Structure 1
Amino acid sequence: MTTAKPARARSVDLTGRSAIDDKRQLSEKVAMYVRERIMIGEFHADDFLRTERLAEQLGVSATPVREALMLLHSEGSVRWEPRRGYRIVPLTQQDVSDLFEVQAHIAGELAARAAEVLDENEIARLEDIQTKLEQAAKDGQAALVDEYNHEIHRTINKASNSTRMRSLLSLTVQYVPLNYFGTIEGWAQASAHDHSAIFTALRGRDPETARAVMSDHIRHIGELLTEHLRKEGNLS
């Protein structure tokens, strides 16, 4: 039996941005931290998570950690074993595939709705951001690529005027280690390349194409993450 040894805490919000002072419950932040560490392989399958040790590493009390572990148990990320504690459930390729398939569906629908309402000025602004993203990708500036990519997707999703659907997308995004995408081979290039078809569809007021190319983009990202996790030995 082994016990996971958490790395230094780094809170992240639903979009991967710093969230040390956001309004979400502390237990939700802890749960997100654990999900991310499971996904990137810092917490290994079948290891046990110890409440007191995790609380100490994160600088929080044991209560939000217990609440987080109960939440993770309910969603299947960890499994409670009487008299032993919470054991990490192995992550499978199907788990990752399913996650991105759901994201692809929702993001595609948001893009389709955005295609009907985004004005020319906003599309021009997105294309300007895309130019900066492509330059950052060429320069190997992963953090800037992530920042520009986030702004592009945030703008498209917000333009859809679909608050409930955006919330559903956020629920799925919290399972993805966005802070680590910059380390994944091909990710920056995918963000630079795949967006051009999305902008063409937006400028052409073509909802069906916008839905299709956005969905393809999200699936592509999921494939890159799956391959990365496989190479790192993080998939069962």
Structure 2
Amino acid sequence: MAVSEFRQVDDLREPAPLGGRVSRETLGRQIANALRNQILLGELRPGQHLNQQQVCERFGVSRMPVRDAFMLLTYEGFVVDEGAGRLAVARLTRRDHEDVYMIEGILHGIACRRATEAATSDELIELKDLHERLASAVRARDGAAMATLNWAFHRRINQISASPKLTAALKPLAQSIPRELFSSVPSWGSKAVAVQQKLLAAMRARDAERAEEIMVKHVNEAGADFLKFLQGRGVDFAS
């Protein structure tokens, strides 16, 4: 996989730098995203050692962005430092994964409650437009568009909540969850459309408590569906 092949994946998490230039930091994140996806999909197995030179050759990059990627994955808990310069894929339990979705659900729920209280009529129209575009992408079975539009919908809610500290807390969680892989989960798209429809109804009714409840439940159920999908692919979580 060349760097150009996974650059679009990073675009789902954060816009590329102006002018199309890719910084070392951005390149490191892109490599981390690709390796993280392989870890989650079981293509890199728990305990498997990561060789810096091999990763450099695979992506056609220098050592610095690969080091950045390894540091990020170690910070996120996907990679462990065994000492003496040896890095290995972490042995993650099912609960480790569930905890990520539980925490994200709580934070997204708070953001949704605040957005429901603060949203203007124009902002609700923006969300409705994103929802309708997602529904069209689901009907067209356009996985890339589904991932992008679903991300945009949630991002807009976070922006409307006007809670920069909350958004900052969500960012590392968003980077550690493979949004672009969710569209591979059967029925994910139709479920996302149905949930957004309920959520918009609650927001239009200014029922902040109901909106928060819907969001928390949605994130946790989406996480459970994704873990079930991974197990169906033969991914074996540590006990």
TM tier, smaller: 0.7 to 0.9
Query: Is structure 2 residue 153 aligned with structure 1 residue 152?
Result: yes
Q: What is the rounded CA distance, in whole Å, between the counterparts of 1:92 and 1:183 in structure 2?
A: 22
| SS of 1:46 mapped into structure 2 | coil
Please list, as runs of the form range in 1=range in 2, the aligned pairs for 1:1-236 lying within 5 A after superposition: 7-9=1-3, 10-11=6-7, 12-13=9-10, 15-16=12-13, 19=16, 21=21, 25=25, 26-82=27-83, 85-236=86-237
**What letter matches 1:170 in structure 2?**
K
Amino acid at match of 1:43: L
Secondary structure of the 1:174 match is helix
CA contact (8 A) 2:76 2:176 kept: no
Task: State the number of aligned residues.
Answer: 230
Cα distance change, pair 105–51 in 1 and its aligned pair in 2 (3 A):
same
Task: Specify the SS of the correspondent of 2:206.
Answer: coil
1:162, CA displacement in angstroms?
0.6
Structure 1 gap ranges (5+): 1-6
Do the aligned partners of 1:79 and 1:87 also contact (CA within 8 Å) in 2? yes
CA contact (8 A) 1:16 1:177 kept: no
* 8 Å Cα contact 1:91/1:234 also seen in 2: no
Q: For residue 104 of structure 1, what is the amino acid of its counterpart?
A: G
**TM-score, scaled relative to structure 2:** 0.86
1:124 Cα offset (Å) = 2.2
For residues 187-231 of structure 1, what are the alpha-carbon distances to aligned partners after superposition, in whole Å with 9 as ceiling and x for unaligned? 111111111121011111121111111111111210111111111
- The whole-number CA distance in structure 2 between the counterparts of 1:41 and 1:144 is 25
Q: Which amino acid in the other structure matches residue 194 of structure 1?
A: V
Cα 1:75/1:127, change in 2 over 3 Å: closer
**Corresponding residue SS for 2:176:** coil
Query: Cα RMSD over matched residues?
Result: 2.3
Q: Distance in 1 between matches of 2:42 and 2:14?
A: 20
| CA-to-aligned-CA distance 1:151-179 (integer Å, 9 cap, x gap) | 21111110000111111111101111112
Q: Which amino acid aligns with 1:181?
A: F
The TM-score with structure 1 as length reference comes to 0.87
Q: Quick one: structure 1 residues 46 and 138, their matched pair in 2 at CA, closer, same or farther if it must change by over 3 Å?
A: same
Do the aligned residues in 1 keep the contact of 2:124 with 2:204 (CA within 8 Å)?
Answer: yes
Further displaced range: 18-27 or 61-70? 18-27
Structure 2 distance, partners of 1:222, 1:122, is: 27
Specify which structure has the higher proportion of helix.
Answer: 2
Which has the higher mean CA deviation after the structures are superposed, 116-125 or 198-207?
116-125
